[in-house]
Amino acid sequence: MPKNIFNITPSPLTLRRLAKYLCLLNQFSQGENPEISSAKLAKIANIKPSQLRQDFHYFGGFGKPGHPYDANLLKEELLKVFGLEKPLHLLLAGATPWAATLIQCPSLPSLNVHIKGVVDFTAGTIDDEFSNCPLISTSNLAEFIERNQISVGVICANEPETYLRLLIEKGLTVFWNLSPKHLIPPLGIRIQQESLMCGLLPMVYELRKS
Amino acid sequence: MPKNIFNITPSPLTLRRLAKYLCLLNQFSQGENPEISSAKLAKIANIKPSQLRQDFHYFGGFGKPGHPYDANLLKEELLKVFGLEKPLHLLLAGATPWAATLIQCPSLPSLNVHIKGVVDFTAGTIDDEFSNCPLISTSNLAEFIERNQISVGVICANEPETYLRLLIEKGLTVFWNLSPKHLIPPLGIRIQQESLMCGLLPMVYELRKS
DNA sequence: TAGATTGTTAATCGATTAACAATC
DNA sequence: TAGATTGTTAATCGATTAACAATC
């Protein structure tokens, strides 16, 4: 079970906010020794400062009383919260626009997350590329996963089932599903669903009901 | 203020779940007169049946005691919750892989959400296309927005600021920001941030801390 | 030191859940 | 009618917030 320093599993809400703080720091902190207070960062994140400090408190706090946070230190500590002091290696499944979107996304490398390749059923057997990223054929897959220490498979195709089956077969157990289809995870397999619609629809609610 | 039948604003958590139920129904209900109980749908959604019924209860409930929900009726009612009994028209900003991802996403039309065009700074002035979708030049934009009754601008570029400014200038006030950069909304402007990283990082936490 | 801002607590507030009455 | 499953309530549980002690 994932635990913090108080041996309590932090709530998904807290984890999402911590991820948000990290992204905002990457974007908004600049200069040699940038400082940022809970009040400033909370204002950008659109929450209360006390909530931000409570979120940090679950992990022991990242500052010293009387002084704003050191933005660089805070970034490092937040990366550690997510275990990203060591790089994380992804394999994308499906040479689709979704895959291209991730490959071109500047946030991933800044979070120490690295895309090592794209697997596609239509890929040839050697030296192919997709959007400047190695394109892997299914026959080379097992060796590629092993050699590149892939820990997460990212499903980028609208029909996710065949890619899921393939990657489970090759030994992956953790997946990020970007396809709009909900996947029911087999035993022992962890699938994080990412549904764009769950972000769009609440906004539409506001728009149409106001 | 957006309100439900009890004149209470439903929480963002409830709205996200309602969006999820709707997507799951589109995927899993089939047949002529499909029925689905709160137990079945809750199992797919990975929540408790009582939570699902409580979510529906905020809107008066969508079934009759003793019988499972009529899946088709439920879909219609959930669409109405989000005000999507009338079509919603989107304009994408930036002819990028993000835009292509949305254009190819089968969920949008099934939710009565329609992409009317893509605006891009590099677009020519006539009859251009991107991924089989009309490509609009900035000079034709005001007329296009008016004629197509666009209500949401979707920012698909990694550098979102210039597109945001352009679309505000042309009269849009509601935006869905898919870029990794957080935008600070000017007064009177509503921006829904969609951050992929907030989905990925909590999963990485579990992976690395277990 | 005085000022600033954090860490920490406990009260408040809101979301989830179980239980069962209602009813088709 | 009996069975099934919803609608609804109220108790429980957890998240948010304000307040302030701690301390650099």
Question: Tens of pLDDT along B61-97?
Answer: 999 999 999 999 999 999 999 999 999 999 999 999 9
Whether chain B has a CB inside 8 Å of the CB on A100: the answer is yes
C-alpha to C-alpha distance for B18 and B6, rounded to whole angstroms: 17
Whether chain A has a CB inside 8 Å of the CB on B46: the answer is no
Give the per-residue pLDDT at B4: 61
Amino acid B65 CA to nucleotide D1 C1' distance, rounded Å: 17
C-alpha to C-alpha distance for B184 and A44, rounded to whole angstroms: 8
Amino acid B51 CA to nucleotide D12 C1' distance, rounded Å: 14
- Does at least one atom of strand D sit less than 7 Å from the CB of A64? yes
CA distances from A146 to A112, A138, A172, B97 (A): 19, 14, 10, 29
**Which strand (E) or helix (H) includes residue B177?**
strand B174-177
Amino acid A13 CA to nucleotide C4 C1' distance, rounded Å: 29
Structure tokens at A107: 């946030």
How many C-beta atoms surround the C-beta of residue A72 within 10 A? 15
In chain A, which among 63-92 make CB contacts under 8 A with chain B? 81-84, 88
C-alpha to C-alpha distance for A142 and A41, rounded to whole angstroms: 43
Nearest CA in chain B to A99: B97
User: Residues 6 or more apart from B122 whose CB is under 8 A from it?
Assistant: B95
Amino acid sitting at position A16: R
pLDDT surpassing 50 at residue A203 = yes
Taking alpha carbons only, the member of A161, A183, A175 closest to residue B24 is: A183
- Does at least one atom of strand D sit less than 7 Å from the CB of B13? no
The per-residue DSSP string of A103-139 comes to: HT-THHHHTTEEEEEEE-TT--SSSEEETTEEEE-GG
Whether chain A has a CB inside 8 Å of the CB on B128: the answer is no
Nearest CA in chain A to B192: A203
Mean local confidence (pLDDT), B97-112? 98
Report the DSSP pairing between strands B152-155 and B174-177: parallel
Give the per-residue pLDDT at B32: 77
The mean-pLDDT minimum among A190-194, B32-36, B99-103, B181-185 falls in B32-36
User: Residues 6 or more apart from B185 whose CB is under 8 A from it?
Assistant: B175, B191
C-alpha to C-alpha distance for B136 and B144, rounded to whole angstroms: 8
Taking alpha carbons only, the member of B48, B49, B19 closest to residue A195 is: B19
Residues with CB under 7 A from strand C: A 37-39, 49-50, 53-54, 56-57, 60-69; B 11, 13-14, 47-48, 50-51, 53-54, 64-67
Question: Which positions in strand C are less than 7 Å from the protein's CB atoms?
Answer: 3-10, 14-19, 21-24
Contact B105 A180 (CB under 8 A): yes
Amino acid B57 CA to nucleotide D3 C1' distance, rounded Å: 23
In chain A, which among 143-162 make CB contacts under 8 A with chain B? 151-152, 158
Contact B198 A20 (CB under 8 A): yes
**Res. B1 pLDDT band, cuts 50 70 90:** very low
Look up the pTM and report it.
Answer: 0.95
Whether chain B has a CB inside 8 Å of the CB on A194: the answer is yes
**Taking a C-beta distance cutoff of 8 angstroms, is the pair B25, B19 a contact?**
no
Whether chain B has a CB inside 8 Å of the CB on A210: the answer is yes
Q: What is the mean pLDDT of chain B?
A: 94
Taking alpha carbons only, the member of B133, B12, B209 closest to residue A13 is: B12
C-alpha to C-alpha distance for A23 and B200, rounded to whole angstroms: 12
**Res. A1 pLDDT band, cuts 50 70 90:** very low
Q: Chains A, B: CB contacts under 8 A, how many?
A: 183
The mean-pLDDT minimum among A1-10, A115-124, B126-135, B155-164 falls in A1-10
Hey, what's the torsion of the CAs at A140, A143, A146, A147, to 10 degrees? Answer: -100
